[in-house]
Chain A
Amino acid sequence: MELPKPDLAEVDTLIVEQIQQAEIRVKQKPSSASAWAMLGVVYWVNEFRDIGSQCLNQAVLLDPDQGRWVYYKGLSHLPDQIPLALPSLKTAADLLDKQTFAPRLRLANVLAEDGQLEAAKPHYEAVLSHFPDNPMAILGLGRVAQAAGEDNQAVEYFEQCRDSIHTRKAAHVSLANLYLRQGKLEASEGAQKVADTIELDEEWMDPYLDMVKPYKLGKIAWMDSAGTLIRLGKLAEAQPLVNKIIQHYPDIPKAYIYQGKIHLANKQYPLAETALRKSLSLDKDSIEAMVQLGVSLLWQNKHADAIELFERAIELSPELAEAYYNLALAQSSLGDGNSAKIAFAHTIRLNPGIAEAYVGLATLFIQDNELANALKTVRKGLEASPEHPGLKRLLDGFEIQR
């Protein structure tokens, strides 16, 4: 096979450099399966899937007994080329079964996700034959049973895996559905309540996939990862990645927003302000930077500057309830209750679910002795959030007065 020659003109230089290094290895050892595999991985994980598959295929031809290369070749066809992926995933599972459950579990999940549930079943069972307590395989068998209408069997499986950090939420959601189907309303409610308390199940570890993650380079990949980590609240993990992004790509405005958010969460408000000002200097129309910078200023009691930012954000994105809300906070802090009332009212108009906005508005009404308006606001807020403690406290205050 000749070395592929894709157009790399617009590709991130870090990725290009990595490709070039991998090519050097192939040129030095053209019959080396691992050299071709490395080149294939580099292409595949950086979104050159077809070329990656071709290189990985070359690696498999050179060393058909190396399960890793076969596995990567299969993975390179996912998520949409399932018929192409399946033979490689099956071969990889056969080759690697005794070392790890990952390829067999991946194969089973791909089959199940493609609707081939009966075909998936023996693979889940095979995982359990080597790794008897594997919660993901048990969950998979539960889903196969549920799809086949074998509800009792499915419940048994889901109950077995409902305590694993990798399957807790999924198992409880399925149990809530199955209990409801069986007429066990209380059990269904209970399972649903547990599921509601779990944000997300932890991803299971695939050692082979973990090995290739470092090869996914460049600003898009890193920014995606950083964004995901921040969304999941994994700020400690996000911080070094964000620092790395800024080091390599000092002109990405969003990277400084990420940095600012991390500093805000760590209550490092001056640092947050610096990062967010940098972001705004790179993208003067960034609403997110404006709002976050405004929040960092609020925490530092720089209310007037914060107001200016929130007003600019509202001008650019007039439906942004959070900007109105923060504007109201800043205005009330400066004693401009009338403006704050208007901003709180806008917040409620845009997002009637923000209970704090009702609290803020009602409080301002109380301060101005507009008690009827305050009571009306509290009642309206309680319609939206009947259990909100701040609103309940305010209502209690009215009742005591009465």
Chain B
Amino acid sequence: MLVQQPNLTNGACLSQWCYLFWAGILLCLAGCDQSNDSRRAENDLPLPSDASSQAQWFTAMASSRGLNFVHQAGDPSDYFMPRSLGSGTAILDVNQDGLMDVFCLQNAGPNSGVFHTLFIQQSDGSFQPADASYGLAVDGHAMGVAAGDLTNDGYPEILITGYLEARLFLNLQGNGFREITRESGVDNPEWGTSATMLDYNRDGWLDMVIANYVEYAPSVDCSGSDGRPEFCGPDGFPSAIPKLFRHTGKVVDGCPIFEDVTAAAGLAAHPGPGLGVACYDFSGDGWVDIFFADDAKPNRLFVNQQDGRFAEEALKRGIALDAMGQTKANMGVGVGDIDSDGLVDVFVTHLSTERHTLWQQGPAGVFSDRTAAQGLNQTAWRGTGFGAIMADFDNNGLNDLAFVNGDIRAKHGERGDDIVASSAFWAQYAQRNQLLSNDGSGKLIDISPKNEAFCGEPGVGRGLAVGDLNNDGALDLVLSQIEAPTKVLLGHSHAQANWVTFRAILPEAGGRDDLGAEIVIQTQSAKHKQWLNPGASYLCSNDPRIHFGLGNASADATVLITWSDGMQEHFGPLPINQFHTLSKGQGEPVMRD
């Protein structure tokens, strides 16, 4: 809004502000390995037996497994904008039993009595919803979720973002949660979307970053091009400022204490309509940076200055705009190494009238739009993409892409009956998801038409989280949809598709996952690199373990890990097709030049 500051009359002191504003060698100790043989046997999926099913990478998990959640967004007739952006999901191990649990958010509003649900995985692979006494059954217009151990006790805390709030829940060492928002110093009276955790100042404590969207005014009515009422877009509302909460290193009565350093860190100077966030080393200096995907505005990349401050450098580094210099509706973020060159690449989803964009890094710290070169504009269909995951779903050693679609503008009267969304209203926004396979020659091939389970049914897809729910070495997906059941898609085992999965933990920090660690593994035939951060995608938090597809590699793998503080260690050789825990200080230190 155009706001002018008037002259003030009561005192000379005040006249100065009368101008415009707004204007390894060691394997982890015995017992750390989670050989997955017993868990694999529990995978009740038959191996593909015919040509058509072999093409399918995923199968929907049976409802008998108990993970039955239906998202609710409340009454949409008021076109309250936060309803249209959906809610996310977290894959995390709340009780540290080695089995991933799933936390699903609701968006029906405060005092709706429609509560978020934590599904705790049981030893038989089924899921049990935690009851209200577990402390997470709260309601609200919840959107994003981040998970990470903020108390260095080995158990992940949960941060929930939403419309005009962020709520932090302390993990009572696997015995439930207690809300600590106020006492921890977390205060985000904004429209929070995606969030993640990181240790940006290398002090051994996880900090938190929240992408905030816009300064929405619910009384503003919007309409589509046909004049009918429609959810507003970000245009017309001031962009919001993200929030960075620094962990003070204090834990008082079990409660971590944070300080809002948004302004001091340099983030307040760059507002933006943030929807996606990802924290990786995007500049090549070894320090974690912050990337925001901004809706209809240039993306922002805050490069860590290693002194507590960040500098916004997205334009210069080539990741703010696409190859044509255009701004897109940037939403979900998929992060990984798509071309196996050891550098983080970034995939961002956009509207169906735009092209999704793949920014490849190279040389280190500089990005270029390689969407066309990778074949991303040759897809079977187009959609408005939200959650996005870059990972090796078929374990062939190459990262693939999965993303979920769901429109933001209703298609009146153009939809059929095969709609997942539970109400006719949301059916007007339903679209099909997409899955792209990396063929290893630099191209991503659209295999959506052959993947009915993930891509067949239209829905209003928003969140997409990845993890290995059944510990079988094949990645699974959890997909959240507006006013529809959450879908769990179990990845298939593939022939000649080996894998290895790691936890990277810090014993000095209570055994928490070392967000920001980088792992390079070497097999007899190839080198692979991955990074540990469960954030990214859209509104979601992923399995914090690092998964590698290894293709037909048969021998053991050696591991070089760069911990988040820059220290390096070698582990291995380690057997493949297993889970390993890399514990800092247990490997062979690498001396750096």
Interface set of A (CB-CB < 8 Å, partner B) = 10-12, 47, 79-80, 109, 112-117, 139, 143, 146-147, 170, 173-174, 176-177, 180-181, 188-189, 192, 195, 220, 227, 230, 261, 264-265, 283, 285-288, 291-292, 295, 298-299, 301, 316-322, 325-326, 329, 332-333, 335, 349-356, 359-360, 363, 366-367, 380, 383-385, 390, 393
Bound-state CA distance A144–B366 (Å) is: 18
Whether B22 and A322, one on each chain, are in contact in the complex, defined by CB atoms closer than 8 angstroms, is: yes
**Contacts A350-B189, A350-B190; is A288 near B220 (CB within 8 Å)?**
yes
Whether B316 and A326, one on each chain, are in contact in the complex, defined by CB atoms closer than 8 angstroms, is: no
Determine chain A's interface SS by DSSP, over half rule.
Answer: helix
Partner of B219, one of A47, A176, A227, A285: A285
Q: Which 10 A-B pairs have the closest CB atoms?
A: A115-B372, A384-B263, A353-B268, A352-B263, A383-B264, A115-B377, A285-B219, A177-B318, A287-B217, A298-B6
Q: How far is the CB of A215 from chain B (nearest CB, A)?
A: 15
In the assembled complex, 26 residue pairs joining A and B whose CB atoms fall closer than 8 Å, in A order, are: A11-B227, A113-B324, A114-B355, A115-B376, A147-B368, A170-B325, A173-B315, A181-B363, A192-B315, A195-B315, A286-B220, A287-B220, A292-B2, A295-B4, A299-B4, A317-B216, A317-B217, A319-B190, A320-B215, A325-B21, A349-B187, A351-B241, A356-B21, A363-B13, A366-B13, A380-B264
Interface centre among B191, B228, B369 (most CB of A within 10 A): B369
Bound-state CA distance A112–B365 (Å) is: 25
* Interface residues in B263-316 (C-beta closer than 8 Å to A): 263-264, 268-269, 271, 315-316
Partner of B316, one of A115, A176, A318, A383: A176
Partner of B218, one of A112, A147, A176, A316: A316
Of chain A, the residue at the smallest CB distance from B373 is A147
Interface centre among A285, A286, A326, A356 (most CB of B within 10 A): A356
Whether A354 and B21, one on each chain, are in contact in the complex, defined by CB atoms closer than 8 angstroms, is: yes
Interface centre among A12, A180, A264, A286 (most CB of B within 10 A): A180
Q: Using Cβ atoms and an 8 Å threshold, which residues of chain B touch A326? A: 3
Whether A147 and B2, one on each chain, are in contact in the complex, defined by CB atoms closer than 8 angstroms, is: no
Interface centre among A170, A177, A195, A288 (most CB of B within 10 A): A177
Whether A291 and B325, one on each chain, are in contact in the complex, defined by CB atoms closer than 8 angstroms, is: no
Bound-state CA distance A402–B371 (Å) is: 59
Whether B9 and A301, one on each chain, are in contact in the complex, defined by CB atoms closer than 8 angstroms, is: yes
**Contacts A180-B365, A287-B219, A292-B2; is A333 near B321 (CB within 8 Å)?**
no
Bound-state CA distance A182–B47 (Å) is: 50
Q: Using Cβ atoms and an 8 Å threshold, which residues of chain B touch A12? A: 227
B225 interface residue per 8 A CB criterion: yes
* Interface residues in B2-26 (C-beta closer than 8 Å to A): 2-11, 13-14, 16-17, 21-22
Bound-state CA distance A317–B191 (Å) is: 11
Bound-state CA distance A384–B353 (Å) is: 38
Partner of B263, one of A176, A292, A322, A380: A380
Q: Using Cβ atoms and an 8 Å threshold, which residues of chain B touch A220? A: 223, 225, 227
Whether B16 and A291, one on each chain, are in contact in the complex, defined by CB atoms closer than 8 angstroms, is: no
B1 interface residue per 8 A CB criterion: yes
* Interface residues in B351-400 (C-beta closer than 8 Å to A): 352-355, 363, 365-366, 368-373, 376-377, 382
Whether A10 and B368, one on each chain, are in contact in the complex, defined by CB atoms closer than 8 angstroms, is: no
Whether A177 and B317, one on each chain, are in contact in the complex, defined by CB atoms closer than 8 angstroms, is: yes
Bound-state CA distance A380–B578 (Å) is: 50
Q: Using Cβ atoms and an 8 Å threshold, which residues of chain B touch A116? A: 372
How many residue pairs link A and B with beta carbons under 8 A? The number is 187
Q: How far is the CB of A364 from chain B (nearest CB, A)?
A: 9
Whether A367 and B13, one on each chain, are in contact in the complex, defined by CB atoms closer than 8 angstroms, is: yes
Partner of A352, one of B217, B241, B315: B241
* Interface residues in B137-171 (C-beta closer than 8 Å to A): 164
Interface set of B (CB-CB < 8 Å, partner A) = 1-11, 13-14, 16-17, 21-22, 164, 187, 189-191, 215-220, 223, 225-228, 235-236, 238, 241, 260, 262-264, 268-269, 271, 315-318, 320-321, 323-326, 352-355, 363, 365-366, 368-373, 376-377, 382
Q: Using Cβ atoms and an 8 Å threshold, which residues of chain A touch B11? A: 363, 367
Q: Using Cβ atoms and an 8 Å threshold, which residues of chain A touch B264? A: 380, 383-384
Whether B325 and A384, one on each chain, are in contact in the complex, defined by CB atoms closer than 8 angstroms, is: no
Q: How far is the CB of A184 from chain B (nearest CB, A)?
A: 12
Whether B325 and A174, one on each chain, are in contact in the complex, defined by CB atoms closer than 8 angstroms, is: yes
Q: Using Cβ atoms and an 8 Å threshold, which residues of chain B touch A332? A: 8, 10, 14
Of chain A, the residue at the smallest CB distance from B365 is A180
Bound-state CA distance A170–B298 (Å) is: 13
Bound-state CA distance A134–B65 (Å) is: 63
Q: Using Cβ atoms and an 8 Å threshold, which residues of chain B touch A189? A: 316
Extra pairs beyond A295-B6, A351-B268 (16, CB < 8 Å): A109-B324, A113-B324, A113-B326, A264-B2, A265-B2, A287-B220, A291-B1, A295-B4, A329-B5, A332-B14, A351-B241, A359-B16, A367-B13, A384-B269, A385-B263, A393-B16
Of chain B, the residue at the smallest CB distance from A262 is B2
Q: How far is the CB of A373 from chain B (nearest CB, A)?
A: 15
Bound-state CA distance A395–B494 (Å) is: 66
Q: How far is the CB of A280 from chain B (nearest CB, A)?
A: 11
Whether A353 and B3, one on each chain, are in contact in the complex, defined by CB atoms closer than 8 angstroms, is: no
Whether A112 and B324, one on each chain, are in contact in the complex, defined by CB atoms closer than 8 angstroms, is: yes
Of chain A, the residue at the smallest CB distance from B191 is A319
Q: Using Cβ atoms and an 8 Å threshold, which residues of chain A touch B365? A: 180
Q: Using Cβ atoms and an 8 Å threshold, which residues of chain B touch A177? A: 315-318, 366, 368
Q: How far is the CB of B382 from chain A (nearest CB, A)?
A: 7
Q: How far is the CB of B182 from chain A (nearest CB, A)?
A: 13
Q: Using Cβ atoms and an 8 Å threshold, which residues of chain B touch A261? A: 2
Q: Using Cβ atoms and an 8 Å threshold, which residues of chain B touch A359? A: 16-17
Whether B323 and A316, one on each chain, are in contact in the complex, defined by CB atoms closer than 8 angstroms, is: no
Partner of A80, one of B236, B269, B352, B368: B352
Whether A360 and B225, one on each chain, are in contact in the complex, defined by CB atoms closer than 8 angstroms, is: no
Partner of B14, one of A114, A181, A360: A360
Q: How far is the CB of A235 from chain B (nearest CB, A)?
A: 10
**Contacts A177-B316, A316-B218; is A114 near B377 (CB within 8 Å)?**
yes
Bound-state CA distance A366–B16 (Å) is: 14
Bound-state CA distance A322–B263 (Å) is: 17
Partner of A115, one of B10, B315, B371: B371
Q: How far is the CB of A248 from chain B (nearest CB, A)?
A: 15
Q: Using Cβ atoms and an 8 Å threshold, which residues of chain B touch A363? A: 11, 13-14, 17
Q: Using Cβ atoms and an 8 Å threshold, which residues of chain A touch B17? A: 356, 359-360, 363, 390
Q: How far is the CB of A49 from chain B (nearest CB, A)?
A: 10
